[in-house]
Every structure is written in structure tokens, then in C-alpha cells.
């Protein structure tokens, strides 16, 4: 514990508080579920990345086919190859960082294996020192960590993509306006403290949180750090898709002449909340506008007859894509088969293309009940006047789609990072406070995902101590060697600092009571003069001890009585 007159930096206070909080959570066996929640979030992001890869591959194939029959498409195709290389290099760098973190916490896993190592198999999920050291580094400004290099590479990647579109060979209508609207391409590298509407007061008190690097990786356990990297992969692939889509649109679909067709499905998500709706695009890759497809959905597929089985329905087709919507009723795994029919405009011959997903003649998805993880799940106490860390996640939803609010206790809930929040309450209430969570689907519809009630309490009274003792026998020399009276919270979830503001030392000397007061935590020379005069077996009393807590309230603490030996 730091001396009472040695103030800590804001960074040290935050690190200390988070460390003690994590220790407390481990003690009540909540840590595993919290960390595993990050694993679920990471897996959800990985599924989204696979979806992006499918969409991007479709567009690359379309450009490759177009340039074979149309010379005007060649510059766009070559530009798409540049985009693909940039994206692959950026993605590889992020995977390299992932492997470095996994290898550092689990030495039997190489960096190459760590790129795709199952997070659930990581033993030291609660380790945050190693990811923090790798990504943030030893300095407060994070200039020596890998996160700074990652941020610079993301900026370079974004600028390189924009240059591809700005190339004079790429002819886009209103190109300047299009490029301006693309903005940062969904790649966030801006320091939180510099964003419009940023909480200036908060970042003034916590300057270390104002930087991009620390806001993303400071004090993040292994699953959280890896999930953050996976989210950045998501941004990289999204930016890739945006640029390639502009290149594809620049050619004009009416100019395409394709000779290879395949039925494809791109679901918005393979994880659907009960009461929501499974949505997917079913289409023929590289379709021709002169041969508009028909799309049918059934319960199964007969490979011998090349026909759908069970109940068969047609679905609407927009721009060559069948728009499938299935209400999410009962929970559990679901599947469906699909068929795309294309009619040759010249011969009127109908060709059928069954949907094949990962070698199977059907697509699968999961319907789950709405669930939100709000931690701490057992402590469920919010303390007045201090930052109460809360982790919130919703299975199947990206963090950007999740919204949380605090009701009761006269307080508020502030987002600190992906899945991380700070709850502040101002007053006690018998009704307590409730944190509610909702999430938006891809259509912008909000769904209530869960809520949790918290008790609201004042910070407990700390214990006063001298020489790490609350009384009893003590040597005169030991007592005289002490400089401070300390105030400490024992067995409390947060590492909160209390500052002793005043106390008195008294003793009976030669039959007369003597007493001296200190207006700080320091034991004054006058008080030590009284201690020197106390004979062996005599008593020294520390009374009227007062200390101020982080909530600004002054509390009167227990007295201390020592017997000089």
C-alpha cells in the first residue's frame, strides 16, 4: 500500500482498481464466465468475418469474369488485386499479433499455431499483464507497444485503399464526392479523447484512457485482447468490401458476360435471437441481368432428381439475389435447402443450381433465446461515489449493436471500451439500481436482451492502523519509527484510497493527561514527544481519527490503543 502522502497517478489508480476488482471476481468464481463470454464474442466476430470473406470473394470473382470479356473491366480488376493484397497483408499482421499473444501466455503454442488457436483452450484466460505489455508497452503513452504499430498500419491501409479509388484509371461518377462520403472506411483509429462529444472531464481525470492504444488494450485479459483484434479484422474486411464494391459498381452490371454460375447464400448472421428473424441472400454468383433467376426454398434436397423436397416456397429476387426471411420461433439448430433456377433467354432452357454450403446441400443456423451477460453477476452491488466496472456482452451481437442503461441510484452508465462500462451512483435507494441491455438487429430493430438489479451501498468505513496494527503491545522504538496513521479497507472488492485528515495522540504522563493533535496523516514531533515519555507498560492512544474517501465524505474511524513494552 502506498504511503498516504504519496499520491498515485490516474493510471496507477485505475490499474490498481481493476486488478483488485479482477481478483475479487476470481474469488467469487465469476471470472470464468466473464472470460468465456469474450470467447463467445470473438467467435461471433469470426463468423461475421467469414461472411465478409464470402461477399468479397463473390465480388472478386465477378471482376475476374468481367475482365475476360470486357477490356473496360481490366483496370478495375487490376485495382481489385491491389485491394486484395493490401487486405491480406493487413489481416496477416493482425493474425501475427494474435499468435504472439497466444504464444506468450501459452508457450507450448507457436506463433503460427496461435493465429488460429481455439481461445477456449487457452489456460491463462485471466492473464492481462502479457497482452498489455505486448500491445501497450512499458510507457504510459503506449508509444513502445505493438498497438501503436497496429494503429499506424491501419491508417496506412485505409489511405492505400482510398488511393486505389483515386487512381485516374478508375472512372466513377462523382468520384470526389464518393471518396469523401467513404470517410474512414469504418476503420476507427481516432483517440477517444479527441472525438466530438467526448467527456472532457472524464479524460482530464483519466488521460491514459484518451488514447486509442490504451482504450483498446489497456488491462485487457487474453480473450478480450484477442476479441479486439478480431473486431479489427472485421473493420479491415469491411473496408475491403466497401472499396471492391465501388470497383465492381464502376464497371456497370449490364456490361458483364459470365459463363460460370453457382448458387450462393450469404446470411446476415447464423445466430438468431428468438423472436427475431433469420435473413439471408440466396443468389447465383456472377449472374446476368438478361437472365433473371428464380429462387425457391424447401425443407430438403433430393440429389438424384435435383429437386427440393418438403414444403417449397418461392422468395422475392432483387438484383439477382433471393431475399430470404424466416421468422425465428422455437429455439435450436435449423436448416433449409434452396434452388436457383436460371432461364436461357435464347433457348428458354432452365438450369437448376442447388445451394451447397461447405459440401452440404443445405444451410444451417441457430435460434437462441435473448441473453445478455452483465457482470459482476454475484456481487451485484454498486458503491456510491466511485467507478464500478461492469462488463456487458450479448451473444450473437457485435458490441457496436449493444446499448445499456442504468436506472435508479441517481447515476449513469458510461461506456469505457468494447464490452466495458463504468457505473456511477450518487445516492442509496431501497429499490436499488437496474442495468438493462438491448441490441439492434441488422434492420435497426431494437430487442430487449436482459436486465440485472444491483444493490446500492455506501463505501464501508476503513480501519485505522499504525505500524500495520490496530492495537496491542508494541515496542517504543517501533512506535517512534512510524511516520503515518493509515486508513485501509480490508477485504473489499476495490482498491480505494482513504486519506487520514486528522487524529490525536494522548497518554498519561506523571499522573497528568497529555494530548496533541495532527491535522494530517503525519505523526507530528509533538506527538512523538508524548510517546517518548510513556514508561514501559504505559498506554498510548490514537483517537478522533478522521479520513476522507474517494466519494469525498469524511468518516470517523476506530481508535487505537497501544501498550508500550
pLDDT tens for residues 196-248? 877 777 777 776 677 888 888 888 888 888 888 988 998 999 999 999 999 98
Residue-level pLDDT at 202: 77
236/266 Cα distance (integer angstroms): 19
Statement: residue 5 has pLDDT above 70: no
> Is residue 341 included in any domain, yes or no?
yes
Rounded CA separation 90/159 (Å) = 13
Angle at 391 between CA 428 and CA 109, to 5 degrees: 150
Q: How many CA atoms lie within 13 A of 266 on its CB side?
A: 20
Residue 25 lies in a domain: no
- For 393-410, what is the mean pLDDT? 86
Residue 20 covered by a domain: no
pLDDT top residue among 193 and 399: 399
pLDDT-based confidence at residue 345 (cuts at 50, 70, 90): low
* Calpha distance 271→43 (Å, rounded): 11
Last residue of a domain, one of 221, 255, 289: 255
Domains in the chain, number? 4
Q: How does pLDDT run across 461-506, given as a tens digit for each residue? A: 899 999 999 999 999 999 999 999 999 888 787 778 899 999 999 9
Q: Domain check: are 125 and 204 in the same one?
A: yes
Which uninterrupted H or E stretch holds 97? helix 74-105
- What is the torsional sign of CA 468, 470, 474, 479? positive
Residue 362 lies in a domain: yes
Parent domain of 399: 372-457
Model confidence at 549, pLDDT cuts 50, 70, 90, reads confident
Query: Are 184 and 229 in a shared domain?
Result: yes
CA distance 281 to 258: 20
Determine the Cα–Cα distance for residues 89 and 536; give it in Å rounded to an integer: 76
Q: Which of 228, 255, 282 is the last residue of a domain?
A: 255
Residue 89 lies in a domain: yes
Domain closes at, from 255, 272, 301: 255
Q: DSSP for 248-273?
A: HHHH-GGG------EEEEEES-SEEE
Q: Please check the confidence at residue 390 and state whether its pLDDT lies above 70.
A: yes
pLDDT reported for residue 274: 61
Q: Give the tens place of pLDDT for each residue, 289-333.
A: 556 788 999 999 998 888 999 999 998 887 677 788 878 777 677
Residue 395 falls inside a structural domain: yes
Contact 355, 282 (CB under 8 A): yes
Beta strands at 307-309 and 300-302: parallel, antiparallel or unpaired: antiparallel
Report the pLDDT averaged over residues 347-351.
73
The answer to whether 539 and 508 are in contact (CB under 8 A) is: yes
User: Residue 377 — pLDDT band, cuts 50, 70, 90?
Assistant: very low
413 and 476 part of one domain: no
Residues 69 and 110 in one domain: yes
pLDDT digits (tens, 9 = 90+) for 519-543: 999 999 999 999 999 999 999 999 9
287 pLDDT above the threshold of 70:
no
Cα dihedral sign for 405, 410, 415, 420? Answer: negative
Task: Round to whole Å and give the CA distance between 292 and 284.
Answer: 10
- 347 shares its domain with 395: no
Pair (380, 408) in one structural domain: yes
Least Cα distance to 265 among 336, 209, 371, 168 occurs for 336
For residues 100 and 219, state if they share a domain: yes
Would you say 244 and 255 are in contact if contact means Cβ atoms under 8 Å apart? no
**Domain shared by 439 and 472, yes or no:** no
Q: Is the pTM of this model over 0.85?
A: no
Q: Give the confidence band of 78 by pLDDT, cuts at 50, 70, 90.
A: very high
Mean residue pLDDT across the chain: 81
pLDDT in tens, 140-184: 778 888 989 999 999 999 999 999 999 888 888 778 888 888 888
Which H or E run contains 521? none
Residue 335 covered by a domain: yes
237 and 198 in a common domain:
yes
- How many Å apart are CA 407 and CA 156, to the nearest integer? 43
Q: Is 431 found in the same domain as 303?
A: no
Amino acid at each position: 500500500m502506498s504511503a498516504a502522502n504519496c499520491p498515485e497517478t490516474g493510471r496507477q489508480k485505475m490499474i490498481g482498481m481493476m486488478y483488485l476488482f479482477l481478483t475479487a471476481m476470481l474469488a467469487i468464481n465469476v471470472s470464468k464466465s466473464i472470460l468465456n463470454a469474450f470467447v463467445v464474442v470473438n467467435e461471433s466476430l469470426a463468423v461475421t468475418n467469414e461472411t465478409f470473406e464470402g461477399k468479397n470473394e463473390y465480388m472478386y470473382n465477378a471482376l475476374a469474369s468481367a475482365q475476360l470479356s470486357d477490356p473496360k473491366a481490366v483496370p478495375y480488376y487490376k485495382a481489385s488485386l491491389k485491394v486484395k493484397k493490401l487486405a491480406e497483408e493487413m489481416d496477416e499482421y493482425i493474425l501475427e499479433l494474435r499468435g504472439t499473444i497466444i504464444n506468450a501466455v501459452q508457450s507450448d503454442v507457436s506463433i503460427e499455431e496461435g493465429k488460429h488457436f481455439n481461445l477456449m483452450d487457452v489456460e491463462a484466460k485471466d492473464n492481462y499483464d502479457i497482452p498489455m505489455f505486448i500491445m501497450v508497452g512499458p510507457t504510459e503513452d503506449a508509444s513502445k507497444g505493438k498497438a501503436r504499430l497496429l494503429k499506424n498500419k491501419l491508417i496506412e491501409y485505409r489511405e492505400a485503399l482510398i488511393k486505389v479509388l483515386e487512381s485516374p484509371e478508375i472512372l466513377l461518377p462523382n468520384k470526389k464526392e464518393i471518396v469523401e462520403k467513404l470517410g474512414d472506411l469504418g476503420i476507427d483509429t481516432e483517440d477517444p479523447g479527441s472525438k466530438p462529444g467526448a467527456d472532457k472531464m472524464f479524460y482530464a481525470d483519466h488521460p491514459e484512457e484518451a488514447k486509442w492504444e490504451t482504450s483498446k488494450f489497456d488491462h485487457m485479459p487474453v480473450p478480450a485482447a484477442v476479441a479486439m483484434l478480431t473486431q479489427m479484422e472485421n473493420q479491415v474486411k469491411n473496408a475491403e468490401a466497401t472499396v471492391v464494391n465501388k470497383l465492381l459498381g464502376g464497371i456497370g452490371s449490364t456490361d458483364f458476360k459470365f459463363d460460370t454460375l453457382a448458387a450462393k447464400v450469404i446470411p446476415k448472421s447464423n445466430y438468431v435471437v428468438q423472436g427475431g428473424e433469420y435473413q439471408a441472400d440466396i443468389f447465383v454468383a456472377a449472374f446476368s441481368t438478361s437472365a433473371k433467376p428464380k429462387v425457391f426454398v424447401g425443407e430438403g434436397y433430393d440429389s438424384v432428381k435435383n429437386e427440393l423436397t418438403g414444403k417449397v416456397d418461392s422468395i422475392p429476387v432483387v438484383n439477382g439475389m433471393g431475399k430470404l426471411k424466416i421468422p425465428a420461433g422455437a429455439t435450436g439448430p435449423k436448416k433449409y435447402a434452396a434452388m436457383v433456377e436460371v432461364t436461357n433467354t435464347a433457348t428458354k432452357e432452365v438450369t437448376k443450381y442447388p445451394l451447397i454450403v461447405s459440401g452440404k446441400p443445405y444451410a444451417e443456423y441457430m435460434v437462441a433465446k435473448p441473453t445478455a451477460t452483465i457482470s459482476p453477476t454475484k456481487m451485484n452491488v454498486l458503491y456510491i461515489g466511485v467507478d464500478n466496472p461492469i462488463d456487458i456482452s450479448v451473444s450473437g451481437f457485435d458490441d457496436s449493436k449493444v446499448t445499456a442503461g442504468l436506472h435508479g441510484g441517481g447515476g449513469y452508465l458510461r461506456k469505457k471500451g468494447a464490452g466495458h462500462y463504468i457505473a456511477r451512483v450518487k445516492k442509496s435507494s431501497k429499490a436499488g439500481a437496474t442495468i438493462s441491455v438491448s441490441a439492434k438487429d441488422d434492420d435497426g430493430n431494437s430487442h430487449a436482451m436482459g436486465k440485472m438489479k444491483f444493490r446500492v451501498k455506501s463505501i464501508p468505513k476503513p480501519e485505522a492502523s499504525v505500524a500495520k496494527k490496530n492495537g496491542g503491545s508494541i515496542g517504543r522504538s517501533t512506535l517512534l519509527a512510524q511516520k503515518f496513521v493509515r486508513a485501509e479497507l480490508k477485504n473489499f472488492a476495490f482498491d480505494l484510497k482513504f486519506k487520514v485528515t486528522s487524529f490525536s495522540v494522548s497518554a498519561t504522563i506523571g499522573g497528568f493527561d497529555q494530548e496533541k493533535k495532527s491535522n494530517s496523516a503525519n505523526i507530528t514531533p509533538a506527538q512523538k514527544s508524548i510517546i517518548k515519555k510513556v514508561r514501559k507498560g504505559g498506554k498510548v492512544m490514537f483517537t478522533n481519527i478522521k479520513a476522507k474517501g474517494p466519494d469525498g465524505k469524511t468518516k470517523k474511524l476506530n481508535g487505537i490503543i497501544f501498550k508500550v513494552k
